[in-house]
Structure 1
Amino acid sequence: MFDSRHLRTFHEVVVTGSYSAAARELGYTQPAITQQMKALEREVGVPLFTRAGRGLRLTEAGETLARHAEEILEGLRTAQQQLGALARLRAGRVRVCAFPSANATLIPAAMARLQAEHPGIRVELLEAEPPESIQRLLRGECDITLAFSYPGADAEVPPEVQVTPLMEDQLTVLLPLGHPLARRQAVRISDLAEERWIAGCPRCRANLLQVCSDQGFAPDVVFTTDDNLAVQSLVAAGVGIALMPALVLSFMCHAKVTGRLAEPHVRRQVSAYVLRDHLRVPATGLVLDELVRAAASRVGC
């Protein structure tokens, strides 16, 4: 492996044609240039220069190295510039994996502010429900994961992962607009024992079963899907009702569907998960900060 300092000096000797001229350009003494070139020749294993009168002539090895030296040094300059940009938050790529309703709500708000203030940072957006999204973080497939958990069902988080709570998301009952209970501001879960239900992802389905069990009944689940738009369409068509997070209400697409607060209140915790080592990357920390701000702006909505 060549010493980059020796390579820069070699390139200057080639360009200027002598040790003394290179010394003047670089601000070194001539003996210092001589010592560096001897050290480089030891690294290469063969002479790089021969004397031609008072001047220098490149050996075959010297010509070979000269052809590559400028390209190598330009690559180093480019790398230094890019690393400097990363350190100053002018550039960087951050991979974020989130569940669908976060991708439709928290992510757009955070990314709009990020793009306005730090346009050089690029975010690659992935989608997965927990616990798969957290596994993707542990496998190194993303830098930040947004995931949710329900009371009493928190999964153990490895010590190398930092968890940043973002917000609590109130659960709501999704009803067809003409449903008799749609006139209420809030709906008791116990009043829905005879309803047919649309269940969501495995974690949400498990929560639905637990909530209903706590109210003394087992829900009649007639359809299961983790597609929020599909759930809305099924509710609108009268196939069943659903227990959905309030985040979903902000992108409700069906005029024939309405959401009502569930009683007793049930909230899921939305958090950001980051490998602790990744927090040392400035761009990752910045994206996390923007996600925290986006979640804070939704509290109380």
Structure 2
Amino acid sequence: MFDSRHIRTFHAVVTAGTYSGAAAVLGYTQPAVTQQMKALERTVGSPLFVRVGRRMRLTEAGETLARHAEGILGSLSVAEEQVTAITRLRSGRVRVCAFPSANATVVPEALARLAADHPGIRVQLLEDEPPDSLERLARGACDITLAFTYPGLRESVPDEVVEIPLLEDQLTVLMPIGHPLARRRAVRLADLAEERWIAGCPRCRTNFLHECAELGFAPDIAYTTDDGLVVQSLVAEGLGVAMMPGLVLSFLRLDRVAGRSLEPAVRRRISAYVLREHLRIPATALVVDTIKEAAERRVGC
């Protein structure tokens, strides 16, 4: 294995033609240059120079190494520049996996701030629901995961994963704008026991069924879909009502769908998850912080 310092000194000797000339260029002493060349020759297993008068002439092994030295040093220089750019947040790539309503609200706000302040940071956006999104994180298929949990559900994550709380998202009921209960500011779930329902993702559906069971009724679920816009369209056509996250109110079809808070309030906890070691990567830590700031601004709205 070549030492990059020895390659730099070797290239300087080839260019200058003498050890003393290389020492002057590099700011070394001549004995230091001599020692480095002896060390490199031990690594190669063959002399690299022979002396011809006062100048050095390359051996066959030296000529072969000289042909590659400039390319090696060029590659090292490029690598140093790229690593420096990453550590100083001039560039970097981060993969973020979030559930749909976060991808439609918190994440775009964070990406807009990143684009303005750190245009070299590139974010690859992925979409998945928990627990699948957390499994992606564990197997290295993403760098940051946004996931949610409901009351009574404790997310099981490995010790190497850090949870960063972002916000509490209050659940809401979506109903057609002409629904009798749409005149209220908040509704009780029990008042909707006889309605037809549109249910969302498996985790949301499980929580919904639990909430209904606590009130002593089994909902009539007419449709199930993971797509929030599809849910809104079904509600807008009067095909049912739906219990949805409060985040969807940001992109609600206000002309035909009403969103009303539940009373008593039901909330889900939204958190970012990241491998502990990845928080030491500047670009990943920056994206986490920017997402957290976007979530805090949303809470303050």
TM-score, structure 1 length as denominator?
Answer: 0.97
Range with bigger deviation, 3-12 or 48-57: 48-57
Stretches of structure 2 lacking an aligned partner (at least 5 in a row): none
Amino acid at match of 1:189: L
- Cα deviation per residue 1:47-103 (whole Å; 9 max; x = unaligned)? 211222322111121111111111111111111122222222222111111000101
1:254 Cα deviation from its structure 2 partner: 5.8
1:222 Cα deviation from its structure 2 partner: 1.2
Q: For the residues of structure 2 that align with 1:90 and 1:21, how far apart are their CA atoms? A: 37
- Cα deviation per residue 1:173-230 (whole Å; 9 max; x = unaligned)? 0001111111111111001111111111110000110111111101111111111111
1:250 Cα deviation from its structure 2 partner: 0.3
Q: For the residues of structure 2 that align with 1:268 and 1:189, how far apart are their CA atoms? A: 16
1:17 aligned partner: 17
1:166 Cα deviation from its structure 2 partner: 0.4
- Give matches, 1:1-301, under 5 Å: 1-253=1-253, 255-301=255-301
Range with bigger deviation, 241-250 or 54-63: 54-63
Percent identity between matched residues is 69
Q: For the residues of structure 1 that align with 2:127 and 2:253, how far apart are their CA atoms? A: 20
Amino acid at match of 1:13: V
Q: For the residues of structure 2 that align with 1:238 and 1:204, how far apart are their CA atoms? A: 21
Q: For the residues of structure 1 that align with 2:79 and 2:214, how far apart are their CA atoms? A: 59
Amino acid at match of 1:33: V
Stretches of structure 1 lacking an aligned partner (at least 5 in a row): none
Amino acid at match of 2:138: L
- Match of 2:129, SS state, is coil
Q: For the residues of structure 2 that align with 1:253 and 1:126, how far apart are their CA atoms? A: 25
Q: For the residues of structure 2 that align with 1:252 and 1:68, how far apart are their CA atoms? A: 62
Amino acid at match of 1:76: L
Q: For the residues of structure 2 that align with 1:155 and 1:294, how far apart are their CA atoms? A: 23
Q: CA RMSD in A?
A: 1.1
- Match of 2:242, SS state, is strand
Spell out structure 1 runs of 4+ moving beyond 4 A.
none
Distance 1:30 1:230, change over 3 A: same
TM-score, structure 2 length as denominator?
Answer: 0.97
Aligned residues: 301
Q: For the residues of structure 2 that align with 1:254 and 1:226, how far apart are their CA atoms? A: 20
1:255 Cα deviation from its structure 2 partner: 2.1
- Match of 1:250, SS state, is helix
Q: For the residues of structure 2 that align with 1:299 and 1:27, how far apart are their CA atoms? A: 58
Q: For the residues of structure 2 that align with 1:213 and 1:87, how far apart are their CA atoms? A: 52
Range with bigger deviation, 49-58 or 243-252: 49-58
- Match of 1:97, SS state, is strand
- Cα deviation per residue 1:225-279 (whole Å; 9 max; x = unaligned)? 1111111111111221100011011011362111000122100000000110000
1:300 Cα deviation from its structure 2 partner: 4.8
Range with bigger deviation, 58-67 or 186-195: 58-67
- Match of 2:70, SS state, is helix
- Cα deviation per residue 1:1-41 (whole Å; 9 max; x = unaligned)? 10111000000011111111101111112121111111101
